Amino acid sequence: MNQMTIKESCLLSGGQGLHSGLKTQLAFHPAPADHGIIFYRRDQNVKIPATWQYARSSPLCTTLEEAGVKLNTVEHLLSVCSGMGIDNLLIELAADEVPIYDGSGWVFYEKFSQVGLAELEGAKKALRVLKPIQWSQGEIQIAATPSEETNFTFSIDFEHDQIGRQEFQFHFTPANYAEQIVRAKTFCREEDIPKMRAACLIKGGSEKNAIILGKQGGFQNIENLTWLNEPNLHKILDQIGDFFLADNLRILGNFFSHRSGHASHLAFLKYLLQERTDAWEIVTLN
């Protein structure tokens, strides 16, 4: 199995940052084998690799930083790269945030599907879990066990009539990702909106790009739902993107997560890659 990139450069416009509210466009360029996923902040003339070494802890999004230059909300785009098997890509933009579009990964997936993917000569590699791993912080738990495939079990727990405590199991393949995950939109609680706006966040947020969990226990904009368990599915979309920070390698293993988010995903990755070097290996995929 070989590494992949896109067939040709393409432009994606009409986007707006979820938190900054700024409009921007993205240019995607093919990249050679072993290049990885790299963002180029054209306005700052700085390239930022999309790997854990450049990631910074953030509760509401995944942030990258290099030489004091930050780039926010990269998780949905990275999730699509992982989901489609894109190993190498140069992403050019002139803003500090990747556009939110409809709150899912669909716009990126649709663009890459239209352009098409190209196979490279370099062999595709993955990170394979060898031993059971457990990480926790308060009520947040992430665990992994060895597997030749990638499987996610994600558990969420919200005091909300339509959500409550639920769990979803996902077998990660490109086909399953396209069918079950890529269209899952981000979400928030109605009561959190004033606080986020007071903190100068979600300037680009709307009922069109986020599922809003209403105060009365329902969905405030149920017409935008694709699935009734969409918040749980979006959590898996986010985790797939965050885990792709492992040097842009698919991680082979069974993962169980409870109440985790961007900051805990990064903490787990750092624990795995820095402190548990005995528990994984890099393999070439056939």
How would DSSP label each residue in the chain?
-EEEEESS-EEEEEEEBTTT--EEEEEEEE--TT--EEEEETTTTEEEE-SGGGEE--SSS-EEEETTEEEB--HHHHHHHHHHT---EEEEESSSB-B-TTSSSHHHHHHHHHH-EEEEEEEPEEEEE-S-EEEEETTEEEEEE--SSEEEEEEEE-S-TTTSEEEEEEE--HHHHHHHTTTPPPEEEGGGHHHHHHTT--TT--TTSSEEE-TTSSBTTGGG-SSTTHHHHHHHHHHHHHHTTTTT-EEEEEEEEES--HHHHHHHHHIIIII-GGGEEEEE--
Residue of 35, 160, 262, 265 marked catalytic: 262
Whether 29 is a known active-site residue: answer no
Catalytic positions are 262
